[in-house]
């Protein structure tokens, strides 16, 4: 046992030693310290305070499907280095291949398809720039088409256009510190700014009192001078709007004062500049940070100087966020994403599965067995650790979004399978655990991409009605445990059916019998949680909206699971179904769970229409079709195979 634990720990340690490997394989411009500071810089986006690295990671994930990007030199950099480049070295960022084009028809239509590029490939902003007008035209035309009738090219054009716009804003955020403002366009402005040799808006803020005085005293001037001053003011104002415009649509950087209301909005650079110019306290407080940002623009060619100034900016923003209690979990979130627990868990499960395959050839090998357990427990430990960290960061129970159901269901399913294996040691549940674990982690990674494209985060702010940790912890947790059990029972039933249909001999003579006992037990376990979870959902609805049951699709989905599980148990108790029937019904139970978990979300009706499931329809239809085929095959086998009569 000790050896097993040591093996587990070594495995997990090996997988996590490269914690910063990908993220901080830095671009040449940034020191390690700068990257570390930048990754933990708190920003507000999507209703919550998060690390800059999280924001950057999801931006990158949305644009190119990964959290890394290739520079022009072929080096791979992480999200923090990428966003620093976007902000402070936009000319370099434009050359990075950060736009994933899944179908070259879009770039062909834009007239910018690179000859050396593959059908699905990565492009830089510079690669696409000449075709942007055509792209925006395509996107505008696609908007006229109803969502469900858009072609693949139209959908891709819309997505790419949105990504391009976001990228442009991102590389334009620091324009306010780069661009020279027309400060000498009138006699009044010349008098105020005669000595100025700097670009950026800070000089404007320094001279704000004089400017206010100038512009409020225009009435006393002769008409032609007044007109000249007004024209110069309009020109200046237009330019300021232009350089601040990109800051309106990205993350906000400046925390409000410590005594502001708990849910106060952070200030973006543009808002802060405007408030400071208007002599408002909230804006004036941000001037040191604005000055630091302007200085950083000038220091981009001096990594050491940049690091020092960035440290001051970091200190300023972190201290203000910490004073409001909004920095507590930022470093933890950085560690969470660096840990990449779910990807590493996927690797563990895959290795575990391969070892299971090896164990069929080497059934007596203790090392293979230990390897299976080490990787399986290691992977499960990583999933649990990831879920726990998410709970701490969000201050929520484990499940409050569709994405989190995937993680939780996988964890519960695998744990139950491990418990079964521990009880009967048939080496069946352990294989199922690896398949379920790997499948769940793969699905979570795929769904994370969808969340990046829609919510821009997998830890989104919850709508008011979901803001109740009690019901999230009780109803949602129990009902998803029911889902997990349903899926596990279905997987075990597949093993029984395929094993019997293809005449696979299991290790022990009694294995098939043991397998049906497992399935029955898991269905019982599932029924407990499905029924209690479903009723708790009704009680939540009753206590929150005054109705216990509303025949809403999501409620009905949960009821369908309960009814099917009851049917399985009553059929078994009444003697109507034996082993074969139990397995076929359990396969169908898996379909019912999938319908309830994902299918009802596609109906687009009801109160529970949550989670972005566009694009899932084809996968669901394929699942239903495959399972229907499994049931038909099993039926045919039962009817016509002599072995079926013997084994049943």
Partner 1 sequence: MTQLGKKLWELSTSYGTACLLLIFLFLLTLFGTLEQVDHGLYAVQKKYFESFFVVHEFAGVPLPLPGGVLCMGLLSWNLIAGGLIRIRKSRATAGVIVVHIGMLVMFAAGLVKLTASDDGYLRLYEDESSEEYVSYYLWEVAVFDADSKGEVSEFLISDEQLKLAEDDSLRLSHGLIPFELELRHFRENARPTRESSPLPLAGDWRLLELEREQEAEANIAGVYATARSATGGEQTAILWGLAESPWVVEFGDRRWGVVLRHKRYRMPFSIHLDEFTKLEHPGTDIPSEFSSEVTQRKGSEALPLLIRMNEPLRDEGLVLFQSSWGPSNAQPGDRLFSVFSVVRNPSDHWPLYSCIIIGVGLLIAFTEKLIKYVKAQNSQRAKEAGV
3-state secondary structure of 77: strand
| 362-to-358, 457, 510, 630 alpha-carbon distances in Å | 6, 44, 20, 30
Is the Cβ of residue 195 or residue 263 nearer to partner 1 in the bound state? 263
Residue 575 binds to partner 1 (criterion: CB under 8 A): yes
Asked if 621 interacts with partner 1 (CB under 8 A), we say: no
Query: Applying CB under 8 A, which of residues 358, 528, 619, 644 lies at the interface with partner 1?
Result: 528
DSSP string over 134-176: HHHHHHHHHHTS-GGG--HHHHHHHHHHHHHHHHHHHHHTTHH
Q: Does 609 bind partner 1 (CB under 8 A)?
A: no
Which tokens hold the place of 632? 């038909």
Q: What is the C-alpha separation between 586 and 103, in angstroms, rounded?
A: 39
Interface with partner 1 includes 364 (CB under 8 A)? Answer: no
442-481 residues near partner 1, rule: CB under 8 A: 460-465, 467-468, 471
Here the tokens at position 221 are 């001037």
By CB under 8 A, residue 546 contacts partner 1: yes
Among 276, 536, 583, 587, binds partner 1 (CB under 8 A): 536
The crossing angle, in degrees rounded to 10, of helices 52-64 and 152-172 is 150
How far is the C-alpha of 173 from the C-alpha of 270, rounded, in Å? 9
Which residues in the 406-435 window bind partner 1 by CB under 8 A?
Answer: 423-425
Q: Which of residues 161-190 bind partner 1 (CB under 8 A)?
A: none
Residue 352, classed as helix, strand or coil, is helix
> Least distance (Å) from partner 1 to the CB of residue 499?
18
User: Which lies closer to partner 1 via its Cβ, residue 203 or residue 559?
Assistant: 559
- Count of residues near partner 1 by CB under 8 A: 68
Do residues 475 and 399 lie in contact, with contact meaning Cβ atoms separated by under 8 Å?
no
Q: Would you count residue 564 as binding partner 1 (CB under 8 A)?
A: yes
Backbone region of residue 200 per phi and psi (left: phi > 0; alpha: psi in -120 to 50; beta: other values): left
- Figure out which of the listed residues 153, 354, 524, 619 binds partner 1, where binding follows CB under 8 A: 524
Q: Which residues pair with 252 in a beta bridge?
A: 44
Q: Which is nearer to partner 1, 353 or 564 (CB)?
A: 564
The answer to the question of residue 571 lying near partner 1 (CB under 8 A) is yes
Minimum distance from residue 296 beta carbon to partner 1 (Å): 23
Phi and psi torsions of 235, nearest 5°: -65, -45
Rounded CA separation 487/587 (Å)? 9
Contacts of 407 (CB under 8 A, 6+ apart): 342, 383, 386, 387, 390, 398, 440, 444
Residue 236 vs 527, nearer CB to partner 1 = 527
Among 545, 578, 615, 622, binds partner 1 (CB under 8 A): 545
CB of 547 to partner 1, least distance (A): 7
621 vs 645 by CB, closer to partner 1 = 621
Residues contributing to the site for partner 1 (CB under 8 A): 44-48, 252, 263-266, 423-425, 460-465, 467-468, 471, 508, 510, 514, 517, 521, 524-525, 527-528, 531-532, 535-536, 538-539, 542-553, 556-557, 559-560, 563-564, 566-567, 570-571, 573-576, 600, 603-606
């Amino acid at each position: 046992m000790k050896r097993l634990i040591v093996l587990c720990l070594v495995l997990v340690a090996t997988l996590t030693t490269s914690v910063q490997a990908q993220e901080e394989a830095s671009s040449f411009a940034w020191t390690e310290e700068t990257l570390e500071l930048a990754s933990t810089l708190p920003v507000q986006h999507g209703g919550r305070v998060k690390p800059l690295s999280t924001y950057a990671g999801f931006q990158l994930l949305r644009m190119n499907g990964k959290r890394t990007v290739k520079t022009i030199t072929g080096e791979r950099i992480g999200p923090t280095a990428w966003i620093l480049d976007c902000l402070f070295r936009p000319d370099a960022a434009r050359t990075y291949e950060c736009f994933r084009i899944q179908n070259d028809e879009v770039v062909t239509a834009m007239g910018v398809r690179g000859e050396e590029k593959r059908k699905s490939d990565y492009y830089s902003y510079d690669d696409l720039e000449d075709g942007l007008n055509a792209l925006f035209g395509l996107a505008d035309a696609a908007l006229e088409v109803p969502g469900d009738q858009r072609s693949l090219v139209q959908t891709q054009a819309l997505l790419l256009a949105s990504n391009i716009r976001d990228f442009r804003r991102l590389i334009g955020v620091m324009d306010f510190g780069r661009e020279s403002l027309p400060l000498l366009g009138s006699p009044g402005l010349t008098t105020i700014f005669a000595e100025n040799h700097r670009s950026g808006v800070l000089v404007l803020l320094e001279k704000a009192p004089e400017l206010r005085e100038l512009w409020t005293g225009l009435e006393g001037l002769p008409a032609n001078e007044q007109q000249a001053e007004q024209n110069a003011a309009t020109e200046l104002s237009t330019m300021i709007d232009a350089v601040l415009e990109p800051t309106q649509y990205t993350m906000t950087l400046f925390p409000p004062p410590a005594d502001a209301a708990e849910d106060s909005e952070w200030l973006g650079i543009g808002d802060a500049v405007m408030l400071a110019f208007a002599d408002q306290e909230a804006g004036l407080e941000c001037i040191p940070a604005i000055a630091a940002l302007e200085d950083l623009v000038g220091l981009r060619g001096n990594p050491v100087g940049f690091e020092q100034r960035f440290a001051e900016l970091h200190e300023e923003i972190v201290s203000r966020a910490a004073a409001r209690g909004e920095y507590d979990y930022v470093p933890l979130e950085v560690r969470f994403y660096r840990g990449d627990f779910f990807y590493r868990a996927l690797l563990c499960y895959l290795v575990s599965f391969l070892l299971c395959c090896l164990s069929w050839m080497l059934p007596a090998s203790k090392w293979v067995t230990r390897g299976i357990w080490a990787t399986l427990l290691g992977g499960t430990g990583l999933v649990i650790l990831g879920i726990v960290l998410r709970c701490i960061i969000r201050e929520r129970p484990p499940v409050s979004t569709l994405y989190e159901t995937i993680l939780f269901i996988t964890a519960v399913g695998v744990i139950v399978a491990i418990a079964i294996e521990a009880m009967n040691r048939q080496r069946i549940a352990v294989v199922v655990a690896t398949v379920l674990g790997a499948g769940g982690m793969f699905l979570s990674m795929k769904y994370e991409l969808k969340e990046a494209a829609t919510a821009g985060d997998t830890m989104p702010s919850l709508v008011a009605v979901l803001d109740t940790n009690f019901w999230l912890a009780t109803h949602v947790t129990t009902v998803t445990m029911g889902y997990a059990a349903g899926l596990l029972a279905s997987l075990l039933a597949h093993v029984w059916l395929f094993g019997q249909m293809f005449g696979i001999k299991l290790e022990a003579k009694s294995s098939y019998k043991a397998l049906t006992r497992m399935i029955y037990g898991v269905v019982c376990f599932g029924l407990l949680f499905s029924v209690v979870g479903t009723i708790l959902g009704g009680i939540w609805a009753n206590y929150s909206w005054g109705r216990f049951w509303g025949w809403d699709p999501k409620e009905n989905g949960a009821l369908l699971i309960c009814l099917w599980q009851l049917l399985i148990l009553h059929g078994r108790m009444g003697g109507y179904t034996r082993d074969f029937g139990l397995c076929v019904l359990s396969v169908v139970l898996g379909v019912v769970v999938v319908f309830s978990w994902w299918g009802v979300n596609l109906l687009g009706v009801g109160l529970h229409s949550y989670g972005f499931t566009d694009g899932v329809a084809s996968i669901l239809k394929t699942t239903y079709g495959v399972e229907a085929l499994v049931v038909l095959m099993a039926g045919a086998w039962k009817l016509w195979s002599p072995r079926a009569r013997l084994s049943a």
